[in-house]
Amino acid sequence: MADALDVDINRDIDRRIEGLSAKQLAGQLLVVGYAGLEPPPELDAAIAAGERAGVILFRRNLSPGIAGLEALQGTTARLARRSPPGLPLLIAIDEEGGRVARLGAPALALPPMRRLAAVGDLDLVERVACAIGRELRCLGVTMNFAPVVDVDTNPDNPIIGDRAFSHDPALVAEYAGAYMRGLRAAGVASCLKHYPGHGDTLLDSHLALPTVAHGRARLESVELEPFRRLAGRADSMMTAHVLYPALDPDHPATVSTIIATELLRGSLGFGGVLFSDDLEMRAMDNLGGFGASALAAVRAGCDLLLVCSRADAQAEVHAALVDAIAADAGFRARCRQAARRALVLRRAFPPCPGSCDDFSALDRDLLGPLAAELARRDVA
Which helix H or strand E contains 346, and what residues bound it?
Answer: helix 329-348
> pTM of the entire structure?
0.96
Q: 20 in a domain, yes or no?
A: no
Q: How far is it, in rounded angstroms, from Cα 18 to Cα 338?
A: 12
Give domain status of residue 279, yes or no.
yes
175 to 70, 138, 151, 221, 317: CA distances (angstroms) = 31, 24, 12, 17, 36
CB 296 within 8 A of CB 261: no
Q: Across the strands, what pairs with 148?
A: 193
Q: Is residue 271 part of a domain?
A: yes
List strands edge to edge, sheet with 54-57.
143-144, 90-93, 54-57, 30-32, 305-307
CA dist list (Å): 268 to 49, 169, 222, 226, 229:
36, 15, 14, 10, 8
Rounded average pLDDT per 10-residue block, the chain, 380 residues: 62 94 98 96 97 98 93 95 96 95 90 94 96 95 98 93 97 98 97 97 92 97 98 98 98 98 98 98 94 98 98 98 98 98 97 77 85 88
Q: Is residue 16 situated within a structural domain?
A: no
Give the residues across from 30 on adjacent strands.
Answer: 305
> For position 367, what pLDDT does the model report?
86
In whole angstroms, give the CA distance from residue 321 to residue 26. Answer: 5
Decide if 359 contacts 102 (C-beta within 8 A).
no
3-state helix, strand, coil in the chain (%, to 5): 50, 10, 40
CATH number, domain containing residue 113: 3.20.20.300
Q: Is residue 21 part of a domain?
A: no
The rounded distance, in Å, linking the Cα atoms of 130 and 108 is: 12
| Parent domain of 321 | 27-376
Q: Given phi > 0 = left and psi -120 to 50 = alpha, else beta, which region is 306?
A: beta
Distance, in Å, from the CA atom of 277 to the CA atom of 206, rounded to the nearest integer, reads 10
Closest by CA position to 153, among listed 201, 113, 105: 201
Q: List active site positions.
A: 206, 277
Which residues on neighbouring strands pair with residue 306, listed in sequence order? 31
pLDDT at 378: 86
Contact by Cβ (8 Å): 210, 253? no
- The HSE-up count of residue 35 (CA atoms within 13 Å, CB side) is 5
**Residue 325 included in any domain:** yes
Please state, in angstroms and rounded to a whole number, the distance separating the CA atoms of residues 88 and 53.
8
CA separation for the pair 69, 238 (Å, rounded):
27
106, 66 Cβ separation under 8 angstroms: yes
Beta strands in the chain (DSSP E): 30-32, 54-57, 90-93, 143-144, 192-195, 236-239, 273-275, 305-307
Helix (H, G, I), strand (E, B) or coil at 176: helix
DSSP state letters, 241-279: --BBTTTBSSS-GGG-HIIIIIIIIIIS---SEEE---T
Residue 13 maps to a domain: no
Q: Which pLDDT score is estimated for 379?
A: 85
Number of domains in the chain: 1
- Report pLDDT for 1: 45
Q: Tell me, yes or no, whether 10 lies in a domain.
A: no
- Give me the pLDDT at residue 148, please: 98
